[in-house]
Amino acid sequence: MGAGHVATHLGLAMRQAGLEVLQVYNRTARRGQELAEMLGCTYTRQMQDLHPGADIYLMAVSDDAIPDLVSTFPFSDRLLAHTSGSVPMNALMKAGIRAGVFYPLQTFSAGHAVDWNGLPLCLEANKADDMQGLRDLAVALGASPYEVHSDDRKALHLAAVFACNFSNHMFAIAAEILKEKDLPFELIRPLMAETTRKALESGRPARVQTGPAVRSNRAIMKEHANMLQAHPLWKRLYSSLSDSIAQTTTARNKSHTHDEL
Q: Of 209-228, which residues contact its own copies (CB under 8 A)? A: 209-214, 217, 219-220, 223-224, 227-228
Which residue lies nearer to its own copies by CB, 49 or 259? 259
Q: Among 127, 196, 216, 252, which residue interacts with its own copies (rule: CB under 8 A)? A: 196
Rounded (10°) angle between helices 218-227 and 232-248: 160
Restricted to residues 174-193, the positions that interact with its own copies (CB under 8 A) are 174-181, 183, 185-193
Which residues inside 10-69 make contact with its own copies, applying CB under 8 A? 60-63
Q: Is 39 exposed, middle or buried (0-12, 13-18, 19+ CB in 10 A)?
A: buried
**Which range touches its own copies (CB under 8 A), out of 17-25, 51-59, 77-85, 132-140?**
77-85
Binding-site member from 168, 216, 218, 222 for its own copies (CB under 8 A): 168
Gap between the Cα atoms of 137 and 109, Å rounded = 22
Cα–Cα dist 69/67, whole Å: 5
Name the segment binding its own copies (CB under 8 A); options: 33-41, 70-78, 79-87, 94-102: 79-87
In 3D, which of 149, 154, 68 has the Cα closest to residue 101? 149
Range 202-217 burial, b when 16+ CB lie within 10 A, else e:
eeeeeeebbbbbbbee
Whose Cβ is closer to its own copies: residue 14's or residue 213's? 213
Query: From the CB of 181, what's the least distance to its own copies, in Å?
Result: 5
Minimum CB separation from its own copies for residue 120, in Å?
Answer: 5
Binding part of the chain for its own copies, among 44-52, 91-99, 127-135, 152-160 by CB under 8 A, reads: 152-160
Nearest-approach distance from CB 251 to its own copies, in angstroms: 15
Q: Which is nearer to its own copies, 200 or 251 (CB)?
A: 200
**Min dist. Cβ of residue 255 to its own copies (A):** 11
